[in-house]
Structure 1
Amino acid sequence: MKNTLVALILGALSLSTVMSSSDPAQAQDRDRAPEGSYRRTCRDIRTERGTLHARCQDRRGNFQRTRMVDYRRCRGDIENDNGHLRCSRHHR
């Protein structure tokens, strides 16, 4: 019984250490995707390792797979430009 309790405590401490030391950038990627006008005409929106992924509608109404690398660097609106994600202002 005592050995089982010790094993449970050590397991809980190990799990706590692993979870608290996870990469902050990975935690940030799990946040909601950024706001922007693209949300009106894009779907299946997600972020992964600093890249924004979506399927965005083009002028013909078809959905195109698109992505924006380093989307956090965009200081303006993220928009749908004929099925492609674009930053309305240049990256800094």
Structure 2
Amino acid sequence: MKNTLGALILGALSLSAVLSSSDVAQAQDRGRPPRGSYLQTCRNVRTERGTLFARCEDRRGNFHDTRMVDWRRCRGDIENDNGRLRCSGRR
């Protein structure tokens, strides 16, 4: 009986750890925006499920809603290219 109870507790703790690590990954995606020069000319920046959303200024001073799918793959700078998010460098 003691071994069964120990196994159940260990199983519950393992499941809890797996679920909380998934929650942490989702929370990080909704946390701070990724670094990049785009932050100087973009506002309303947020991430959701691997997509970066922002409202970025173009050369004329107009703002545009833009997004970058799978922003984590960008190994260079995330920049504002005339109102659009772009990865300068390797993806």
Which runs of no fewer than 5 residues in structure 2 stay unpaired?
Answer: 1-15
Q: Does 1:51 align with 2:51?
A: yes
Distance 1:67 1:54 in 2: 6
Query: Partner letter of residue 46 of structure 2?
Result: R
Written as runs of structure 1 = structure 2, the 5 A alignment for 1:4-83 is 21-22=19-20, 23=22, 24-83=24-83
State the Cα deviation string for residues 69-91 of structure 1 (Å, max 9, x = none).
00000000000000000000131
RMSD: 1.7
Q: Secondary structure at the match of 1:75?
A: coil
Distance 2:30 2:81 in 1: 25
Q: List, as ranges, runs of 4+ consecutive aligned residues in structure 1 with deviation greater than 2 Å.
A: 22-25
Which runs of no fewer than 5 residues in structure 1 stay unpaired?
Answer: 1-16
Normalising by structure 2, what TM-score? 0.74
Query: Partner letter of residue 79 of structure 1?
Result: E
Count of residue pairs brought into register by the alignment: 74
Query: Partner letter of residue 30 of structure 2?
Result: R
The question of whether the paired residues in 2 share the 8 Å contact of 1:58 and 1:82 is answered with yes
Query: Partner letter of residue 36 of structure 1?
Result: G
Q: Secondary structure at the match of 1:26?
A: helix
Identity score, percent: 71
Query: Partner letter of residue 86 of structure 2?
Result: R
Q: Secondary structure at the match of 1:44?
A: strand
